[in-house]
Structure 1
Amino acid sequence: MFNIDYQQYRSNMAWSALETEFEDHQIRILIKTIKKAKRVVFYGNSWEISCFKRLSFYLFNHGIDI
């Protein structure tokens, strides 16, 4: 079992969410995978959901609606 200091993890990762850039091939893989799925379920803690919201916004800003 891992012993993770969540507050330390969050403070270390907070900057990266603001600067995340996705490469075109990563976006294509994501869209291709979502299109093949009959149902897509995203789950996680509040931090992971927040990251997904940022990804959705990033894709929207690049003309991709998911």
Structure 2
Amino acid sequence: MGYHACSAPTRRSRLGNPTTGFASDRVLPGESFSFTFEDPGIFRYVCRHHGLAGMTGTITVT
């Protein structure tokens, strides 16, 4: 079984206005993590354990 932990650092996490950041604890299969974005924007995130393998993404909030 694998696990993941995602994060978006406060700096540079939001394109154009870097004010929001988040970080999950380790998330095991069958578990979940949630975060509520309060502002629209494009937010980058990375898996802290698999980021070097390319496990990254963006979340678009409208």
Higher relative contact order (CA 8 A, sep 6+): 2
TM-score above 0.5, yes or no = no
Asked which structure has the greater CA Rg, the reply is 1
Give the TM-score of the pair, scaled to structure 1: 0.26
Structure ranking higher in helix proportion: 1
